[in-house]
Amino acid sequence: MRLGKSRIEWGMARRSALSAIPDIKTAIRETFLDTPEVQKQVDAGLAILERATTQITDDLDEELDKVLLEPDTDNRATLANGAAEMVRQYLKLLRTDPIISAIDGTAVLPGIRVIAPMVDHLNDLLGVLTKIEADAASRTA
């Protein structure tokens, strides 16, 4: 089942990205260690990063599990709709937050690529969930 695979891949991407955050914060702090005049801005940016990452919880995993386990097609489509809305919220955060959206491939972190994989997996999930909704709608039409 494609949703099951996408759910597992999303969970792995999320855990990988979130586990990299402490190293990212350390690298940013070390980069600006010798520039005390920007320390307040660095600290503020790191606080924003911390708050933003706490919004990417395992709640989506739980919602996806509900979709996977629901035997009734109509109920499954309703659950898929709710999960899709959560995916859209995560995508909005990852794409529009000025700190998070700037993490991958910056001069400070040239080898870091943690946000793009999450966005890729969320886009895949959104496609799968949208298909579940469309399939249910076509059965009732």
- How far is it, in rounded angstroms, from Cα 31 to Cα 44? 15
pLDDT digits (tens, 9 = 90+) for 10-22: 999 999 999 999 9
Measured distance between the N- and C-terminal CA atoms of the chain, rounded to whole angstroms: 24
Give Cα separations from 114 to 15, 67, 83, 120, 132 (angstroms).
10, 26, 22, 10, 28
In the chain, where the domains are located? 2-140
For the beta carbon of residue 54, count every other beta carbon within 10 angstroms: 9
- How far is it, in rounded angstroms, from Cα 60 to Cα 86? 7
For the beta carbon of residue 132, count every other beta carbon within 10 angstroms: 22
**Tens digit of each residue's pLDDT, the chain (141 residues):** 699 999 999 999 999 999 999 988 998 899 888 898 999 999 998 998 888 888 898 899 999 999 999 999 999 999 999 999 999 999 999 999 888 888 888 877 788 889 999 999 999 999 999 999 998 888 876
By the 10 Å C-beta count (0-12 exposed, 13-18 middle, 19+ buried), 60 is classed as buried
